[in-house]
Amino acid sequence: MTKVHAFTGDCLGELDAVGVATAIRTGEFSAEEAALAALARIDAVEPQLNAVAFDDREHGLARAAAGDFPDGSLRGVPSMIKNNTIVDGIPTMHGSAAVPPTPATTNEKFTDQLLASGVNILGATTLPAFGLTATTEFVDRPPTRNPWNTEYSAGASSGGAAALVAAGALPIAHANDGGGSIRIPAAACGLVGLKPSRDRVLASAEGESLPIDLISNGVVSRSVRDTAHFIADTQRYAPAKGMPDLGLVEGPSGRRLRIALIAEPITGGLLDPETSVALEAVAEVLAAQGHMIDRVPLPVERSYVRQFTDYWSLLAFSLDHFGKRLIDKGFDRSKLDPFTVGLSKQFLRRFWATPGVLLGLRKSTKQFRALFDQFDVVYSPTLGHTTPKIGFLDPGGDFDEVFERLVQYVTFTPANNTSGTPAISLPLAQTKDGLPIGLHFAADVGQEQTLLELAYQLEAERPFARIQD
């Protein structure tokens, strides 16, 4: 087992993002010193982790030296942005050789919202091709590896972000989620990963063009308070319309919640033993805290699996055939990876089903949200089984085999994307070999406060494992 981390005695120490921001604000150290320390940490672990898609240290150091940051709660904190998000000066490569490395000349709307928190973007993190799979692996370059054990996947699609934050190279990093892409790598790498409600945070450029926008922007972090500060900053910059106001959530509420426990994957079968043990152990903690727990099945029909995978395939088909219009004029479909091509071909075999797929996904939204007429929170594992080794979900492998493995692995998270509901993965357990296991909590649209309050309560009761221990 090879564990990789960058925690040292430099100025960043073991501080989370809020701790770093506080130290900068009080003059304990400067934003420039924080950036230099983070870059030294990145340089120390990047050869093993392969988590950086684009190094923009020159601009990051210049900003830090000038103190050129908005006055958000994370002012001066070193960070990176996922490389499917448009940032002035950084090529938006989407994890694919099909996209030319042309630097962007502007920011997308969400980028400005992220920057309003005060973070210092030092570069861009890796994702698999177009974020279409659950492991950050490639056919043309080394995979992004899990710092808890480099033989294992870091998850996806925000795998690079999760690897760097878990390893201590960065205190916080941008992530986004169209089927689990914040929560999956958070679970794999032992982090907090909140997918906000649809439209809680400004939409990504990718998501705005979709018939059903699955994508939510967020962060991965090592503490609940870091995520809470990020989401509060987004609301100060651009308050969400049509849902409850969300300020800074600073701790648990003491509310006794009605919690629905879902232990059976919608794809059928059973959880692996270690995930099942973790689920039950945390259920006992929740009950001891006074929460009321009832076991329920996932309230969507089994046909949801086919509908979601058909929609997933539609996204790949759109890239395959309209990449020049959707992504970049220089898009070269001959350089698409085999998994993306396989998904595109799968759509062609079932294109006739598309109208029914869209209707079915909208129906499943009503079914899933109906749970919140009776419950405050839905509790499940984040993933169908523990984190796989590198190669298990190889994008260059047999398509049908890899696709079926993905469907079994990513069984709990997509319902929150199609329904637009918020959900959070918390690192509340580990395997016998020391790999993180994420547990998953969802609430109704606009109820991020409930999730953050519960997350604080669980973080206090079961402190998250630290990679440096």
Residues 161-182 pLDDT 10s = 999 999 999 999 999 999 999 9
Looking at the domain assignment, is residue 154 inside a domain?
A: yes
- Is residue 462 exposed (0-12), middle (13-18) or buried (19+ Cβ within 10 Å)? middle
Residues 331-345 pLDDT 10s = 999 999 999 999 999
Q: Are 422 and 196 in contact (CB under 8 A)?
A: yes
Q: Residue 432 to residues 148, 360, 391, 429: CA-CA distances in angstroms?
A: 13, 40, 21, 10
Q: Are 453 and 256 in contact (CB under 8 A)?
A: no
- Which residue numbers are catalytic? 82, 157, 181
Q: How far apart are CA 219 and CA 193, in angstroms?
A: 7
pLDDT at 1: 67
DSSP letters, 369-419, are HHGGGT-SEEEEESSSSSPPBTTTT-TTS-HHHHHHHHHHHS-SSHHHHHH
Looking at the domain assignment, is residue 5 inside a domain?
A: no
Which residues are within 8 A (CB) of 240 and not within 5 positions of it... i.e. 6 or more apart?
197, 199, 200, 201, 246, 446
Range of the domain at 257: 17-461
Looking at the domain assignment, is residue 422 inside a domain?
A: yes
Looking at the domain assignment, is residue 345 inside a domain?
A: yes
CATH of the domain at 384: 3.90.1300.10
| Residue 208 scores a pLDDT above 90 | no
170 DSSP 8-state letter: -
Residues 305-356 pLDDT 10s = 999 999 999 999 999 999 999 999 999 999 999 999 999 999 999 999 899 9
- The pTM score is 0.98
Which residues are within 8 A (CB) of 93 and not within 5 positions of it... i.e. 6 or more apart?
53, 54, 83, 99, 101, 124
How far does CA 305 lie from the centroid of its chain?
21
Q: How far apart are CA 237 and CA 229, in angstroms?
A: 12
Q: Which amino acid is at 162?
A: A
Residues 271-287 pLDDT 10s = 999 999 999 999 999 99
DSSP letters, 263-284, are -S-TTSS---HHHHHHHHHHHH
Backbone angles phi, psi at 128, to 5 degrees: -70, 170
Q: Are 373 and 260 in contact (CB under 8 A)?
A: no
Q: Are strands 258-261 and 292-295 parallel, antiparallel or unpaired?
A: parallel
Q: Which amino acid is at 127?
A: L
Looking at the domain assignment, is residue 264 inside a domain?
A: yes
Band the pLDDT of 68: cuts 50, 70, 90: confident
Query: Which residue shows structure tokens 């030294």?
Result: 40
pLDDT at 206: 72
Give the CA diameter of the chain: 62
Query: Which residue shows structure tokens 């995979």?
Result: 143
Looking at the domain assignment, is residue 10 inside a domain?
A: no
Q: Are 263 and 279 in contact (CB under 8 A)?
A: yes
How far does CA 147 lie from the centroid of its chain?
16
Looking at the domain assignment, is residue 443 inside a domain?
A: yes
Q: Are 278 and 238 in contact (CB under 8 A)?
A: no
Q: How far apart are CA 160 and CA 422, in angstroms?
A: 22
Mean pLDDT score across all residues of the chain: 97
Q: How many domains does the chain contain in total? A: 1
Q: Are strands 436-442 and 377-381 parallel, antiparallel or unpaired?
A: antiparallel
Q: How far apart are CA 58 and CA 379, in angstroms?
A: 43
The closest alpha carbon to 359, from 161, 139, 211, 159, belongs to 211
Looking at the domain assignment, is residue 76 inside a domain?
A: yes
Q: Which amino acid is at 101?
A: P
| Residue 207 scores a pLDDT above 80 | no
Give percent of the chain above pLDDT 70.
100
Residues 221-278 pLDDT 10s = 999 999 999 999 999 999 999 999 999 999 999 899 999 999 999 998 889 999 999 9
